[in-house]
Amino acid sequence: MIGAMEALAQLDLLNLEPSAKTRLAAMIAALQRASAAKDLKIQALTLELAHLRRIRFGVKSEALPQTQRDLFQDTWNEDSAAVEAEIERLADGAAAPAAAKPKRAGAGRQPLPDPLPRIEHRHEPEACQCPRCGNTDLVLIGEDVTEQLDVEPARFFVHRHIRPQYACRPCETVAAAPVPPAIIDGGLAAVGLLAWVLIGKHVAHLPLYRLEQIAARDGVVLSRSTLADWVGRLGVALQPLADRLAWHLRRGGTLHADETPVAQLDPGSGKAKKAYLWAYRSNDLEPGPRIVVFDYRPGRGGGHARAFLGTWQGHLRVDDYAGYKALFAPEREAAPPCVELGCWAHARRKFFELHQANQSPMAGEALRRIGQLYAVEAEARSLDIPARQRLRAERALPELESLRAWLAETRARTAPGTGAAKALDYTLKRWPALVRYAETGDLPVDNNPVENAIRPIAVGKKNWLFSGSERAGQRAAAIQTLLGTAKLNGLDPAAWLRDTLAKLPAWPNSRIDELLPFHTQIPQA
């Protein structure tokens, strides 16, 4: 790339119109800025990779149990593989900056067990003639044989790829079928095995050492460092799909939002700190695919929700967490304020807990009245939007008006500071946001859809205990986004993942929507 001054001097030598010369100079300047930004990104990733390797190989002892140290090691290996993949992609396929890796005893690819069944795939050239001179009298001189390990549930097997090599005697040219692109070039694992690892880690919530043990029971050696390398590289490859899902999600007019805490390792302190996994869910009552997007952030501040939503405008269904309040403030600078939707499940929960504690008659009456609202929703579930709006106007709005009057009357007779007063105040304070749904036919009544989407992760984290780093949390959030959306749309996550990993290496970016887990039915393996 020539410098800016040199480029302008070269332009002066060309016989161009002034306007054309200005446009060309602007294009050169833009290319220079893009190149500089790319170099800075590579430099930053190189430094991050060096830091990860220093943490991975520099720490000899740690005041933690062996199993927990293994989990941290898996995260560092995954992060290192992800950074290397990003550097390679930014460098247009060039090798990542050289960095000496400590050699371990027994390192390298382990031979695949002989007892495993082999499935042979013969890849003949498209035309049985010399590509150079057209001669059809080719002679078989050898075969290039590579093996990939694959897996079906409870069954490992090996794909045997055989590419006969044919020689042309007149021009001494060798012809063979090309090697198809793979999600991990030259990798040992076939797409079925890669999908098995991701499903095990992010759906079954199994740490990598457990997957290692499962494979070992079949005599297959899959080291945790190898599994971690695959997970890191797959996370980078799948990230554009997760980003695209987030783009589609923000096109909707209504979103659900919720968050759950996640423990994250704090390097250097030997302890864990609290991070948060934010979840955003599409509205099932609006037309379009169902989408859930997970966003991993180091805290619970409202700025994280604002950063994800950006300039999005619409109805946002949330609980009463104060971090969302700025999104509904009229003075919000980034865009006009969002419209708050209250959650009737949260309001009902206050009365349910009170009723469970002391069998309060007041709480029982509140539960009965709120149950009438849900009875209307159950009846309206199969209706279209206009019919649902009419039913809510006829049935739900009168119930809400009666409930509002009863709540206000009951609160006036309730002593301040009691559990009953807190339950009543919660509902009365949020009343405008709670009743907004009944004025339409396309707004949801509660936040249960996003809570149901986030619950498997909240339960699964009892297995993996914590996230090893912020990058690991972000990678897990992206993979959970894709697999969670597949489940919401009735797809088998494993089948979708196998199909996508097979197509992704050669898939054009202009057709990325066709790979998303709601586009078409996924063919059976």
pTM of the model: 0.77
> 419 or 384: which carries more pLDDT confidence?
384
Residue type, 131: P
Exposed/middle/buried for residue 117 (C-beta within 10 Å: 0-12, 13-18, 19+): exposed
- Rounded-to-integer distance, Cα 12 and Cα 14, Å: 5
The pLDDT tens digits of the residues spanning 57-110 come to: 554 444 444 444 444 567 777 888 888 888 888 876 544 444 455 555 555 677
Residue 434: its H or E element: helix 431-435
Q: Which of 394, 415, 398, 395 is nearest to 406 (CA)?
A: 398
Looking at the DSSP assignment, which residues form a beta bridge with residue 200?
Answer: none
Instruction: Find the length of the chain.
Output: 525
- Rounded-to-integer distance, Cα 189 and Cα 199, Å: 15
Q: Which of 308, 427, 417, 304 is nearest to 365 (CA)?
A: 427
Q: Which pLDDT score is estimated for 95?
A: 46
The pLDDT tens digits of the residues spanning 321-357 come to: 887 888 887 654 555 578 999 999 999 999 998 888 8
The pLDDT tens digits of the residues spanning 236-267 come to: 999 999 999 999 999 999 999 999 888 887 77
Asked if residue 439 has pLDDT above 50, the reply is: yes
* Cα 496 from chain centre: 14
DSSP one-letter code for 320 = S
Share of the chain above pLDDT 70, in %: 85
Share of the chain above pLDDT 90, in %: 49
Find the farthest-apart pair of alpha carbons in the chain and give their distance in angstroms, rounded.
104
The set of residues, in sequence order, having a beta carbon less than 8 Å from that of 493 and lying 6+ positions away, is 199, 203, 483, 486, 487, 517
Domain range list for the chain: 248-452
Task: Mean pLDDT check: name the lowest of 184-198, 268-282, 505-519.
Answer: 268-282
Contacts by 323-329, CB closer than 8 A, 24 or more apart: 324/257, 326/302, 327/302
- Rounded-to-integer distance, Cα 423 and Cα 347, Å: 8
The pLDDT tens digits of the residues spanning 500-513 come to: 999 999 999 999 99
β-bridge pairing 315-317 and 138-152: unpaired
